[in-house]
Chain A
């Protein structure tokens, strides 16, 4: 089955440490996204990418970095500059062709990041 795989499911970060969250998709989607979800809140866009080797900042990019070296992969690094990283992180993907712009995003099952 096609889908999005996020790993790990749970991640713990020490003070001053960078951690990387993995996101892989086999849907052949052009666009990939990272969202942050805090308890009782909606989704906030961190970064998105429309094509390999290109990505754009979302609404809360400070303290985060991404790369898009392959179409299938869009890892997110939470750097030590992100002072409040505890949250649920969701990766998503979507088709980017105009004729398919009525298609929804597909989501992974998330990574829960906590501070030790």
Chain B
């Protein structure tokens, strides 16, 4: 069965330090991978996506993600965290041929402390 795992419910990091939010997936074929951010009482906002090609994808607000096919991972990264990055982050997967559904991870709450 298709699944997306975000192993950490919460990640704490100091402002200015690098951050990583982890995501692994179990989906057949070569799926499309996405990261979203959610602020309180708001919908999900798209951050970045992996299609094929470069294993390091750059997205909005200085975020990037590293794709690793052998480990089936798509970790979200940022070189220098800001307090305003504190939010809930979701990893999502879309199958390439059964693309009417998206599979979401359980979310990771990022806390950036000043």
Seen from chain A, the residues whose Cβ lies within 8 Å of a Cβ on chain B are 4, 6, 31, 33, 40-43, 45, 48, 50, 88, 90, 92, 94, 96, 98, 101-102, 104-110, 112
Contacts and interface: CB of A to CB of B under 8 A. Distances in A.
B96 interface: yes
A33 B53 CA distance: 29
17 contacts: A31-B100, A40-B9, A42-B107, A43-B104, A92-B43, A94-B102, A96-B99, A96-B100, A104-B36, A104-B49, A104-B92, A105-B92, A105-B102, A107-B43, A107-B44, A109-B43, A112-B41
Contacts of B105: 42
A4 B45 CA distance: 12
A107 B44 CA distance: 6
Interface residues of B, number: 24
B94 interface: yes
B98 to A, nearest CB: 9
Given A48-B101, A96-B99, A110 B32 contact: no
A106 to B, nearest CB: 7
B43 A48 contact: no
Contacts of A109: 41-43
Interface in B38-80: 41-46, 49, 51
B100 A107 contact: no
B49 A90 contact: no
B25 interface: no
B99 A50 contact: no
